[in-house]
Amino acid sequence: ETGVTQTPRHLVMGMTNKKSLKCEQHLGHNAMYWYKQSAKKPLELMFVYSLEERVENNSVPSRFSPECPNSSHLFLHLHTLQPEDSALYLCASSPGLAGGPAQETQYFGPGTRLLVL
């Protein structure tokens, strides 16, 4: 369970705050992902990075800003969030984006539970 780590595990912030979520993977993977998990809804993909380059951005509001400085680290910068943004934010990584199931299988971190007041 230590392959993908996320900090902080819990975060409470006001709507005017700026905060960042951090994800680190120790698996030597090249692709990283941000997902949002809300109650009673399926997981929603937010962003995908491959070798530090963003390859997918699923119509996510600009108040969420990802950053991938290297293939082991992924950040999600948050600013002026809304209460409906409260959710569990999951980071995942995979060996690659293509090349078969072994390359494309995603491994998840424990998540950051975010509450926006």
Partner 1 sequence: AQTVTQSQPEMSVQEAETVTLSCTYDTSESDYYLFWYKQPPSRQMILVIRQEAYKQQNATENRFSVNFQKAAKSFSLKISDSQLGDAAMYFCAYRSASNSGYALNFGKGTSLLVTP
Nearer to partner 1, 18 or 104 (CB): 104
Nearer to partner 1, 14 or 61 (CB): 61
Q: How far is the CB of 18 from partner 1 (least distance, A)?
A: 27
Nearer to partner 1, 38 or 82 (CB): 38
- How are beta strands 112-116 and 10-13 bridged, if at all? parallel
Q: How far is the CB of 15 from partner 1 (least distance, A)?
A: 26
Q: How far is the CB of 83 from partner 1 (least distance, A)?
A: 22
For residues 16 and 7, give the distance between their C-alpha atoms in angstroms, rounded to a whole number: 21
The count of other CB atoms within 10 Å of the CB of residue 5 is: 15
Nearest residue to 23 (alpha-carbon basis) of 39, 37, 3, 38:
3
Q: For residue 84, is it left (φ>0), alpha (ψ between -120 and 50) or beta?
A: alpha
Contact footprint for partner 1 (CB under 8 A): 1, 4, 31, 33, 40-43, 45, 48, 55-56, 58, 90, 92, 97-98, 101, 104-111
Q: How far is the CB of 106 from partner 1 (least distance, A)?
A: 6
- Which tokens is 113 given? 């539970």
